[in-house]
Chains A and B, each alone.
Chain A
Amino acid sequence: MANQINVLADKCIGCSICVSACPFGAISMVERPEHPKKFKLAVIDANKCTFCGACVQACKVFKAIEMKKDEVKAAVDMSLYRGVWVYAEQRHGVVSAVVYELLNQGRILADKLQVPLSAVLIGSNITSKAQELIDRGADKVYVYDDPIFAEFQDDSYTAVLTELLKKEKPEIILMGATNIGRSFASRVAAKIYTGLTADCTGLDVDLTTRNLQQTRPAFGGNIMATILTPRHRPQMATVRHKVFKEAKVQAGRKGEVIVNKVDASKIINRTKFLEFFKDCSAHVNLHDADIIVSGGRGLGKPEGFKLVEELADLLGGAVGSSRAAVDAGWIPYSHQVGQTGTTVSPKVYIACGISGQIQHMIGMGSAETIIAINKDKDCPMMQVATYSLEGDLYEIIPSIIAEIKKARA
């Protein structure tokens, strides 16, 4: 039997609350001339419905929507899967900062589930990094250390990780939602047929089902969805940098390091890494920055970024931009924040001459503190900013720079 959802015609009063509650736009209202009071009727498009239950919830007063979900049958023997894992992504021999955040959240989940927390480290000349992961809360570290893993390539990394997941059977594996993590995790999840939830901002576990409750923004953050992988294991999730706090270092913490030998000749790797070109234009990486100073159309000219840069340098932050500034050719695309650029979540986001189009807001709306500098006090960015400064940014920014220098002197 398939899932079923029905609108009870005698209970529906045509209020259309369900229409706006449906995140998938699956409900529409139709005229009902035969109804004594001419109430409209909600109709659910079965092609769009995902049986999320939002409409049932919205209609709890009238109880006009009934949903029956299939009994879920496990695709695998779930009892064989135990343990929480973190993929310890490294780039050029340095463990990515997001890994320490995953270890913190992973530790919380592992303690709740009363299982060990393990990390997987893949790279070349990397074994020495295992203790760092133990110091940050890992009980066990699986290491693949071989020259063939010097650079991230989807084929070879997928081959070893899927092999290890099949053998060790963890119930959860968390990965960073980095360029590497998103590409790598997708490939692994496809191969082992399990669920993967991208960009989680909240992770918890249900102790009865041991299901990972993965909360993530959808539709550009206007809606949050909690997603489960109820029938498959391991449950895979990616998490963006700076969503969780970093695990504290407990120097000399005890843990087990398991170095797995690989037969390099047996690893199929179809792609060839040729060379890495470092981006020298950015002093601070947008993804890692705690403070971002961004410029938009309101700068009026490319030279405006000199001022933005000066403020960013002073605060030890990175330089971001709106799409308008990139399209105008004032700054390279790698600085673009927003839907078609980079999503960031710094502690402080300073928007200089950025009005705050929805596409830009999607990319930075989770910043802890937003400071907006704009001539237009009514623009969206000024409306949501923690602190909004109204006026000419060419007067305000130099004043801020002067004040900061004064405060530090």
Chain B
Amino acid sequence: MHIIVCIKQVPGTTNVQIDPEKGTLKREGVEAVINPFDEYAIEEGVRLKERTGGKVTVITMGPPQAEAALREAISRGADEAILVGDRAFAGADTWATSYALSTAIKTVSDYSVIICGKQATDGDTAQVGPSVAEMLDIPHVAYVKKVEEINDKFMKVERMMEDGYDLIETPVPCLITVVKEINTPRLASLKGKMNAKKAVIKQLNAQSINADVEKCGLKGSPTQVMKIFTPPQRKGGEKFTGEANVQAQALVNKLKEVNLI
């Protein structure tokens, strides 16, 4: 079974600091990492491969530096990697990103499952996965927390909902987006790291995937950023100290004042 995992390189937020004066992200020294949700997607891809046999291809759209994310994925068990990069893709919103990714995936023959993380931590939209499925005209299930069954005809998955979960059966090929609960990603193995070093990353661009440049990048993006501003920083309020019961009383009095109790 051929499994494709779509990943994205995002700014690593674990070390993100906010400039207290300007309220903006300090970018200096922020390393780029694999989007945290995509780590679960990679792991699930590798697990499905281990269950069914076959291979895992990771694909990303991004600048040349994104190659690091692809090699990282290989070190964790992916077999092949594709970097879709072109000046024409710059400034893409979720529609244009989905267009570039799905057009690139069309050049990859015979895949069974495409796996994406539920969303990326820089944009938080959760839109690219389902949009890629629509553009490829395959079914998708979002927010998958477990793959119960998989074979070459269909897969049975648990879709996480606010009030529980739905059990859904979908034919393959299909696309799923996964949540954190689905697995615990493994660390890179020594063999994986060696594979990652040696791996030849397949490079695709707008021309090689035969993309319509009118639908790529900023030009092809229906949404446009009109302005960007920093929200007012949240300021601390009242600080209680002292004996527990005194603090508790003070708090409950405050909550009574604002009718919360």
Residues of A within 8 A of B (CB): 2-3, 19-23, 25, 46-54, 57, 70, 75, 91, 151, 153-155, 158, 178-180, 182-187, 189-191, 193-199, 213, 217-232, 270-279, 285-288, 291, 315, 333-334, 336, 339-341, 347-348, 358-359, 365, 369, 371, 377, 382-392, 395-396, 398-400, 402-404, 407-408
A-B contact pairs, 16 of them (CB 8 A): A46-B90, A47-B87, A179-B159, A190-B98, A190-B134, A199-B124, A222-B24, A224-B231, A271-B169, A288-B162, A291-B260, A333-B180, A377-B241, A385-B237, A387-B239, A396-B247
Chain B: minimal CB distance from A333 (Å):
4
Q: A229 touching B24 by the CB < 8 A rule?
A: no
Contact of A178 among B27, B140, B162, B244 (CB under 8 A): B162
B63 cross-chain contacts in A, Cβ below 8 A:
47-48
**Bound CA–CA A385/B234 (angstroms):** 9
The residue in chain B whose Cβ has the minimal distance to the Cβ of A326 is B180
B162, A389: Cβ atoms closer than 8 Å: no
Contact of A217 among B156, B225, B231 (CB under 8 A): B231
* Residue B194 interfacial (CB < 8 Å): no
Find out whether the CB atom of A274 lies under 8 angstroms from the CB atom of B131.
Answer: no
Q: How far is the CB of B217 from chain A (nearest CB, A)?
A: 9
Q: A224-B229, A389-B248 are in contact. List 20 more A-B contacts (CB 8 A).
A: A21-B22, A54-B228, A91-B161, A186-B94, A195-B93, A196-B223, A198-B94, A198-B127, A220-B121, A222-B18, A222-B23, A222-B24, A222-B25, A225-B225, A226-B227, A315-B261, A398-B244, A399-B245, A400-B251, A402-B248
Q: A190-B98, A279-B165, A391-B247 are in contact. Are A229 and B13 (CB under 8 A)?
A: no
From A213, A223, A278, B25 is in contact (CB under 8 Å) with A223
Nearest A-chain residue to B220, judged by Cβ: A193
Instruction: Give the shortest distance, in Å, between B62 (CB) and chain A (any CB).
Output: 9
Query: In the complex, A135 Cα to B49 Cα: how many Å?
Result: 53
A339 pairs with B13, CB closer than 8 A:
yes
Does the CB pair B261–A186 fall under 8 Å?
A: no
* Nearest chain A residue, comparing its CB with the CB of B221: A195
How far does the Cβ of B52 sit from chain A's closest Cβ, in whole Å? 20
B222 within 8 A of partner (CB): yes
Hey, which chain A residues are within 8 Å of B229, CB to CB?
223-224, 226
B134 to A271, Cβ gap below 8 A? no
Closest 6 CB pairs of A and B: A195-B222, A399-B248, A190-B131, A186-B130, A395-B244, A195-B223
CB of B142 within 8 A of CB of A179, answer yes
Task: Tell me the smallest distance from the CB of B132 to a CB of chain A, in Å.
Answer: 8
Given A52-B228, A377-B239; A399-B16 close (CB under 8 Å): no
Tell me which residues from 167 to 218 in chain B have a Cβ below 8 Å from any Cβ of chain A: 167-171, 174, 177, 179-181, 218
Residues of A within 8 Å of B247, CB to CB, are 389-391, 396, 399
Kindly list chain B residues whose C-beta atoms are within 8 Å of the C-beta of A183.
126, 130, 140, 142-143, 177
Q: In the complex, what's the smallest C-beta–C-beta distance from A287 to chain B, in angstroms?
A: 5
Tell whether B254 is near chain A: CB-to-CB under 8 Å.
yes
Q: Min CB distance, B106 to chain A, in Å?
A: 14
B24/A223 in contact, CB under 8 A: yes
How many Å from the CB of A397 to the closest CB on chain B? 8
Chain B residue nearest to A395 (CB atoms) is: B244
Q: Does chain A have a CB within 8 A of B238?
A: yes
Please name the residue on chain A nearest to B23 by beta carbon. Answer: A222
Q: How far is the CA of A275 from the CA of B237 in the complex (A)?
A: 47
- Whether A387 and B139, one on each chain, are in contact in the complex, defined by CB atoms closer than 8 angstroms, is no
- Given the complex, which residues of A lie within 8 Å of B164, measured CB to CB? 276-279
Asked if residues B256 and A407 are in contact (CB atoms below 8 Å), the reply is: yes
| Distance from B86 Cβ to chain A, minimum over Cβ atoms (Å) | 9
Known: A223-B229, A271-B141. A229 touches B223 (CB 8 A): yes
- A383 with B127: in contact, given A187-B140, A230-B224, A278-B164 (CB under 8 Å)? no
Chain A residue with the shortest CB-CB distance to B223: A195
**Within 8 Å CB of A347, what residues of B?**
260
Minimum CB distance partner of B102 in chain A? A190
B interface residues with partner A (beta carbon < 8 Å)? 11, 13-14, 16, 18-19, 22-27, 30, 36-37, 63, 87, 90-91, 93-95, 98, 121-135, 139-143, 156, 158-171, 174, 177, 179-181, 218-219, 221-231, 234-241, 244-245, 247-249, 251-252, 254-256, 258, 260-261
Instruction: Tell me if A182 and B126 are in contact (CB < 8 A).
Output: yes
Q: Which residues of B contact A225 (CB under 8 A)?
A: 225, 227-228
Complex: chain A residue closest to B145, CB-CB:
A333
A388 and B237 form a contact (CB under 8 A): yes
Q: Enumerate chain B residues within 8 angstroms of A272, measured Cβ to Cβ.
A: 168-170
Residues of B within 8 Å of A219, CB to CB, are 11, 25, 122
Residues of B within 8 A of A231 (CB): 222
Cross-chain contact A275 with B166 (CB below 8 angstroms): yes
Indicate if the CB atoms of A223 and B226 lie closer than 8 Å.
no
Are the C-beta atoms of B24 and A408 separated by less than 8 Å?
Answer: no
Known: A91-B163, A404-B261. A23 touches B218 (CB 8 A): no
Task: Check B27 against A387 for contact (C-beta < 8 Å).
Answer: no
Q: Which of A186, A217, A278 contacts B131 (CB 8 A)?
A: A186
B242 to chain A, nearest CB (A): 8
Residues of A within 8 A of B139 (CB): 154-155, 270-271
Contact (Cβ within 8 A) B13 A287: no
CA distance A407 to B252 in the complex (A): 8
Closest to B36 in A: A340
CA distance A156 to B186 in the complex (A): 37
- How near does chain A come to B92, taking the closest CB pair, in angstroms? 9
Residues on A with C-beta less than 8 A from B252 are 400, 403-404, 407
Of A49, A195, A279, which contacts B163 at CB under 8 A?
A: A279
Cβ contact of A2, chosen from B134, B219, B249, cutoff 8 A: B219
CA distance A386 to B260 in the complex (A): 14
- Chain B residues with CB under 8 Å of A334's CB are 160, 181
B160 touches A179 (CB 8 A): yes
Shortest distance between the CB of A188 and any CB in chain B (Å): 8
Given known pairs A187-B130, A384-B236, A387-B237, the reply for A218 and B123 (CB within 8 Å) is yes
Q: Are the CB atoms of A392 and B226 closer together than 8 Å?
A: no
Residues of chain B within 8 A (CB-CB) of A348 are 255, 260
Roughly how many angstroms separate A303 CA and B241 CA in the complex, as a whole number? 25
